[in-house]
Structure 1
Amino acid sequence: MDVGRETMGLVAAFLDRERHSITAYGQSGSPDNRPLDGDTMFEIGSITKVFTALVFADMVLRGELAPDDRAAKYLPASVRMPDFEGAPITLMDLATYTSGLPRMPSNFAPKDWSNPYIDYTTERLYDFLSNHKLGHKPGKHYEYANLGFGLLGHILELRAGKSYEELVISRICTPLGIEDTRITLSSSMQQRLARGHSAALTPVANWDFSVLAGAGAFRSTANDLMKFLRMCMNPADGPVASAVKMTLSKRRPMMEESDVALGWFISSRFGDELIWKSGGTGGYASFIGSSIKTRRNCIVLSNAADYNPNIALGMHLINAAYPLAKIRREVPVDPAVLAAYAGRYELTPIFALTVRADGARLFIQATAQPEVEVYAESETEFFDRVVDAQISFARSEGGVAPSLTLHQNGKDLPGKRLP
Structure 2
Amino acid sequence: MKVTLTGLLLILCCSIGFGQLAADDIYTIINKEVQLKRCPSIVVGTIDATGNRQIVGAGNFDDKKESKPDGNTMYEIGSVTKVFTSLLLADMAVKKQVNLDEPISKYLPASVTVPVIKGKPITLQHLASHSVGWPRMPDNWDPKDPDNPFADYTTEQLYNYVSRSNFDYAPGTWFQYSNPGYGLLGNILSLIAGKPFETLVKERICAPLGMTNTTITLNPDQLKKLAGGHSEYGAPVKNWDMPAIAGTGAIRSDINDLLTFAAANLGLVKTDLYAAMQLSHVPHISKGRNEGQVTLGWTLEKANDGDEYLWKDGTTGGYKSIILLNRTKKTGVVILANSMNQINDLAYHILMPAVPVKPYRYIWALHDFVLETVKNKNVDKAIDEYKGMKANRSPGLVFDESQLNYVGNDLRSMKKMPAAIKIFELNTQEYPNSSTAFESLADAYKRTGKKKEAIENYEKAVQLDPKNAHAQWMLEQLKK
Please report the TM-score for the alignment, with normalisation by the length of structure 1. Answer: 0.79
Deviation at 1:11, TM superposition (A): 0.6
Note if 1:297 corresponds to 2:332.
yes
Aligned to 1:273: 308
Aligned to 1:170: 203
| Aligned residue among 312, 319, 341 for 1:284 | 319
Note if 1:317 corresponds to 2:350.
yes
Gapped regions of structure 1 (runs ≥ 5)? 344-353, 373-419
Q: Which amino acid aligns with 1:157?
A: S
Note if 1:258 corresponds to 2:282.
no
Aligned to 1:213: 246
Aligned to 1:133: 166
Deviation at 1:371, TM superposition (A): 5.5
Q: What is the root-mean-square deviation in Å for CA atoms of aligned residues?
A: 2.8
Deviation at 1:322, TM superposition (A): 2.9
SS of equivalent residue, structure 1 residue 239: coil
Q: Note closer, same or farther for the CA distance 1:364–1:292 as it changes in structure 2 (3 Å cut).
A: farther
Contact 2:211 2:260 in 1 (8 A): yes
- The 2-side partners of 1:363 and 1:296 are apart by 49
Aligned to 2:123: 90
Q: How many pairs were matched up?
A: 359
- The 2-side partners of 1:35 and 1:243 are apart by 36
Aligned to 1:229: 262
Deviation at 1:223, TM superposition (A): 0.6
Q: Which amino acid aligns with 2:295?
A: A
Query: What is the percentage of aligned positions where both structures have the same residue?
Result: 37
Contact 2:266 2:331 in 1 (8 A): no
- The 2-side partners of 1:342 and 1:288 are apart by 32
Q: Note closer, same or farther for the CA distance 1:80–1:288 as it changes in structure 2 (3 Å cut).
A: same
Deviation by residue 1:218-244 (Cα, 9 ceiling, x = unmatched)? 000001100110111116664311110
Aligned to 2:3: none
Quick one: higher RCO (CA 8 Å, sep 6+), 1 or 2? 2
Aligned to 2:46: 14
SS of equivalent residue, structure 2 residue 168: coil
Higher helix share: 2
Contact 2:293 2:301 in 1 (8 A): yes
Contact 1:117 1:207 in 2 (8 A): yes
Q: Note closer, same or farther for the CA distance 1:239–1:219 as it changes in structure 2 (3 Å cut).
A: same
| Aligned residue among 27, 39, 46 for 2:79 | 46
SS of equivalent residue, structure 2 residue 192: helix
Q: Which amino acid aligns with 2:361?
A: R
Q: Note closer, same or farther for the CA distance 1:217–1:84 as it changes in structure 2 (3 Å cut).
A: same
Contact 1:8 1:304 in 2 (8 A): yes
Deviation at 1:135, TM superposition (A): 2.8
Contact 1:342 1:357 in 2 (8 A): no
- The 1-side partners of 2:293 and 2:208 are apart by 29
Q: Note closer, same or farther for the CA distance 1:238–1:121 as it changes in structure 2 (3 Å cut).
A: same
Deviation at 1:102, TM superposition (A): 1.6
Q: Note closer, same or farther for the CA distance 1:84–1:362 as it changes in structure 2 (3 Å cut).
A: closer
Please report the TM-score for the alignment, with normalisation by the length of structure 2. Answer: 0.69
Q: Which amino acid aligns with 1:260?
A: V
Aligned to 1:386: none
- The 1-side partners of 2:432 and 2:318 are apart by 19
Q: How does 1:56-71 map to 2 (within 5 A)?
A: 56-71=89-104
Contact 1:69 1:90 in 2 (8 A): yes
Contact 1:312 1:323 in 2 (8 A): yes
Note if 1:155 corresponds to 2:185.
no
Higher strand share: 1
Aligned to 1:3: 33
Deviation by residue 1:262-315 (Cα, 9 ceiling, x = unmatched)? 111112345332211101111110011112355431010001111x3x111112
Contact 1:44 1:219 in 2 (8 A): yes
SS of equivalent residue, structure 2 residue 199: helix
- The 1-side partners of 2:53 and 2:365 are apart by 42
Q: Note closer, same or farther for the CA distance 1:50–1:331 as it changes in structure 2 (3 Å cut).
A: closer
